[in-house]
Amino acid sequence: MNVDYAELAQTIASLTHGETDEVALMATLACEIHHSDARFDWTGFYRVTELELLKIGPYQGGHGCLVIPFSRGVCGAAARTRATQLVPDVDAFPGHIACASSTRSELVLPVFAANDRLIGVLDIDSNQPDAFTQEDADRLQEILDATFGRH
């Protein structure tokens, strides 16, 4: 089952309309995105809680890492560079943090609020190698930008 991004965007827009609390928005997105596609084995947010530091936010799946510095792993790279990290093989990513041994590929997108303020990252893991495409990255970024008010 591959996600229908038009339907997912519409569902998320209707569920989150008028909501401004970032944690409530993250919880709703984690749930909706996670259940939209069988490739998505772990789906969640890491929030910027202090300078150069991410902490676990709302997620779906097994336990995640609690704290990730910007200097480590795929999530840290996405936060540090403010750019999407599309990783077809996590074992080939220098400094990958294995929160779950089943993870084979990963997609991490920066999450911005108004005025391009980085509030966290969306981390999606798959137990399949090379599970994610550039279309996944682009469409999910559109949903994130629309939901969190990036302008």
- Spell out the domain ranges in the chain: 5-148
Q: What is the model's pLDDT at position 8?
A: 97
The 10s digit of each residue's pLDDT in 60-108 is: 999 889 999 999 999 999 999 999 999 999 888 877 777 777 889 999 9
* CA 35 from centroid of its chain's CA atoms: 14
Q: At what angle do helices 22-34 and 134-148 cross, to 10 degrees?
A: 150
CB 84 within 8 Å of CB 111: no
Give the angle 40-41-44 at the CA atoms, nearest 5°. 80
Strand order in the sheet with 85-87: 67-69, 53-60, 42-50, 118-126, 105-112, 85-87
Residue 50 has pLDDT above 70, yes or no: yes
Supply the mean pLDDT for the chain.
Answer: 94
Q: What is the mean pLDDT of residues 111-133?
A: 96
126: closest CA among 30, 26, 43?
43
Does residue 1 carry a pLDDT above 70?
A: no
Domain 5-148, classified CATH 3.30.450.40, yes or no: yes
pLDDT above 70 (res 147): yes
Q: Which residues pair with 92 in a beta bridge?
A: none
pTM above 0.85, yes or no: yes
